[in-house]
């Protein structure tokens, strides 16, 4: 049969029951549109989770874990070696939290061909001083070049330039939520206080946004 005849037959069958044809067409259109919207939502959610979790999480994280003292004084006493000693409320060992000899470890890892890169980071809790008000915050000290290379850090900085953190001394990249609370702008000087009572003045060079509002209110 010729294509013209097939077209005429199809048109006649479609127009014979126009209402059923419209209902079927609308149903198929609505189903496909809903399917496409659901796929778009899932794709956006996957990209958000990848950006928040996978892209910002190292494959291996080295840190000095806080643990209680493995050996207690009673264990070293000769008269109690044959006894079972039960000790409660053991306090952590009096040791620093940073990694010992970290520079040598980083240099050793950089020489390993299996390692794509090393991004050192330090983190501390602070207070943002806003007049008489103190806002809780967390400041991450990092190597911006390695963060940009390994964790796409530049994608989260939406105002200013991320490498200004390295080029300008005593500078800070504020989270968007924290910046909105303090009404801070690029070039402003903010005052922070550490848990030990030390105060520092830092210059705002950029703003970043991770995608989680509660996180951006405290992290810098």
Lowest mean pLDDT among 34-38, 76-80, 115-119: 76-80
DSSP 120-167: -EEEEEEEEEETTEEEEEEEEEE-HHHHHHHH-GGGGEEEE-TTHHHH
pLDDT at position 173 is: 92
- Give the pair of three-digit tokens for residue 169: 């001394």
- 174: enclosing H helix or E strand: strand 171-175
Q: How many CB atoms lie within 10 A of CB 165?
A: 21
- Give the pair of three-digit tokens for residue 132: 């008489």
Higher pLDDT, 148 or 1: 148
Mean pLDDT score, 71-94: 76
Q: How confident is the model at residue 1 (pLDDT cuts 50, 70, 90)?
A: low
How far is residue 185's CA from residue 198's CA, in Å, rounded to a whole number?
Answer: 24
How far is residue 131's CA from residue 103's CA, in Å, rounded to a whole number?
Answer: 39
Q: How confident is the model at residue 93 (pLDDT cuts 50, 70, 90)?
A: low
Q: How confident is the model at residue 182 (pLDDT cuts 50, 70, 90)?
A: confident
**Chain-centroid distance, C-alpha 90:** 33
pLDDT 10s digits, 23-43: 888 888 888 999 999 999 998
Contact (CB, 8 A) for 208 and 157: yes
pLDDT at position 205 is: 92
- 193: enclosing H helix or E strand: strand 189-194
Higher pLDDT, 80 or 149: 149
**Chain-centroid distance, C-alpha 22:** 49
Mean pLDDT score, 101-114: 89
């Amino acid at each position: 049969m010729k294509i013209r005849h097939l077209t005429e037959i199809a048109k006649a069958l479609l127009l014979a029951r126009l209402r059923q044809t419209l209902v079927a067409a609308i149903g198929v259109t609505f189903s496909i549109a809903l399917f496409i919207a659901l796929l778009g939502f899932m794709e956006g959610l996957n990209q958000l989770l990848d950006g928040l979790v996978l892209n910002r999480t190292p494959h291996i994280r080295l840190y000095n874990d806080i643990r209680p003292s493995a050996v207690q004084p009673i264990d070293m006493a000769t008269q109690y070696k044959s006894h079972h000693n039960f000790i409660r409320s053991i306090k952590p060992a009096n040791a620093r939290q940073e990694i010992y000899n970290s520079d040598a470890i980083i240099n050793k890892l950089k020489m390993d061909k299996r390692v794509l890169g090393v991004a050192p980071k330090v983190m501390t809790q602070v207070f943002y001083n806003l007049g008489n008000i103190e806002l809780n915050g967390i400041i991450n000290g990092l190597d911006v070049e390695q963060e940009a290379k390994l964790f796409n850090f530049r994608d989260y900085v939406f105002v200013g330039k991320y490498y200004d953190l390295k080029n300008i001394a005593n500078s800070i990249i504020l989270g968007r939520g924290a910046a909105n609370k303090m009404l801070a702008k690029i070039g402003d000087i903010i005052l922070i206080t550490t848990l030990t009572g030390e105060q520092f003045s830092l210059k705002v060079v950029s703003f970043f946004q991770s995608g989680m509002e509660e996180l951006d209110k405290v992290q810098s």
